[in-house]
């Protein structure tokens, strides 16, 4: 049986579309478990219109603990995690079932977000395209990240490795931390036939989220000493972020130290080279103007990431087990 586990918090605007997409794609041997983290809106009332199990937590504890609770209550041997702000594309749930039947030794698999996000706007589309191109193309489709917005894992394996780390209280880097433990014993496979449409963040949310998660990712890196081979935290993106920051600093220094131009131009060139793959993809998918705007946004976000990384470097010695909960 497949148990679909969905953590929710004030998710009323997503519930009808998400649940409709699940039951439209439903298979015979499945259950849906919604774990509500003390919503104050109509999430529960809307969810009750569908044949699912609702677990209402007594206090707000965050998505890690909510997912763990859902797994504990699940009857299925396969756990299919979904976030509340997605819709499931046709055939995805069947693909999860077929994947584990055809690969009985597999322990986990993740899907991918469609290149068209649920919400409109330049930044959400950029985020969707950026995430997509940075997940595909790894050797043997093995990735170092586990995305709970569309990820399936055997219940026994999930429990054996300890589930989600509940020290993470928000939607932070708990998925990266779990992936580190998965990869110590097994591979995470990307299946591009498992597809969801996701609501991506706008500009202000993206800047805030990138900063917070970059800090926490740096803490996680110092604990685990491990890089990622896919996703926004892949090495090429790290190089691009460093170069964007260095180029900006050197540009500001040029009026006082002209020799800084010898740093500015090479760092800018490396920034462009590091971004060639995704830039070409966006150019083909969304056009030249879009891709040029995307390059500017990436440059700005790279600076945001590097400021966060420096903050993470400074705060790591004072953080409990490398985890910072609030900023």
- Give, in order, the Cα–Cα distances in Å from 168 to each of 63, 68, 133: 9, 12, 28
> Using one digit for the tens of pLDDT, what is the confidence trace for 238-286?
999 999 999 999 999 999 999 999 999 999 999 999 999 999 999 999 9
Total-model pTM? 0.92
Q: Does CATH number 2.60.40.420 belong to domain 2-200?
A: no
Could you tell me how many residues make up the chain? 327
How many H helices and E strands in the chain? 12, 9
Backbone angles phi, psi at 150, to 5 degrees: -165, 75
Rg of the chain over Cα atoms, rounded to whole angstroms, equals: 20
Which pLDDT score is estimated for 318?
A: 79
Contact 85, 14 (CB under 8 A): yes
Which pLDDT score is estimated for 292?
A: 98
| Mean pLDDT of the residues in the chain | 93
> Using one digit for the tens of pLDDT, what is the confidence trace for 104-116?
999 999 999 999 9
The mean pLDDT value for 155-165 works out to 96
The percent of the chain in helix, strand and coil, each rounded to the nearest 5, is 50, 15, 30
Q: In the chain, where does the domain assigned CATH 3.90.550.10 lie? A: 2-200
Collapsing DSSP to helix, strand or coil, 109 comes out as strand
């Amino acid at each position: 049986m497949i148990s679909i586990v969905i953590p929710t918090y004030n998710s009323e605007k997503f519930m009808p579309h998400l649940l409709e997409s699940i039951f439209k794609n439903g298979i015979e041997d499945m259950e849906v478990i919604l774990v509500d983290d003390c919503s104050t809106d109509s999430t529960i009332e809307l969810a009750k219109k569908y044949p699912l199990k609702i677990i209402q937590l007594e206090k707000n504890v965050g998505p890690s603990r909510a997912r763990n609770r859902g797994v504990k209550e699940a009857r299925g041997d396969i756990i299919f995690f979904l976030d509340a702000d997605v819709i499931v594309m046709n055939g995805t749930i069947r693909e999860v079932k077929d994947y584990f039947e055809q690969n009985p030794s597999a322990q986990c698999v993740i899907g991918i977000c469609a290149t068209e996000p649920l919400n409109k706007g330049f930044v959400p589309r950029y985020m969707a395209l950026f995430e997509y191109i940075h997940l595909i193309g790894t050797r043997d489709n093995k990735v170092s990240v586990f995305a709970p917005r569309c990820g399936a894992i055997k219940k026994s394996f999930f429990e054996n490795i300890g589930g989600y780390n509940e020290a993470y209280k928000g939607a932070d880097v708990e998925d990266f931390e779990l992936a580190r433990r998965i990869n110590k014993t097994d591979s995470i496979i990307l299946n591009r036939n498992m597809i969801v449409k996701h609501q991506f963040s706008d500009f202000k949310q993206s800047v805030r989220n990138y900063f917070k998660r970059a800090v926490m990712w740096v803490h996680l890196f110092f604990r685990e000493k491990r890089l990622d081979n896919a996703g926004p935290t892949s090495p090429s993106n790290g190089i691009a972020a460093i170069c964007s920051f260095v180029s900006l600093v050197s540009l500001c220094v040029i009026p006082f130290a002209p020799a800084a131009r010898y740093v500015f131009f090479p760092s800018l060139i490396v920034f462009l080279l590091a971004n060639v793959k995704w830039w070409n993809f966006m150019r083909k998918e969304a056009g030249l103007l879009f891709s040029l705007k995307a390059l500017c946004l990436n440059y700005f976000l790279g600076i945001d990431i590097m400021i966060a990384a420096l903050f993470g470097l400074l705060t790591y010695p004072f953080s409990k087990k490398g985890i910072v909960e609030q900023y």
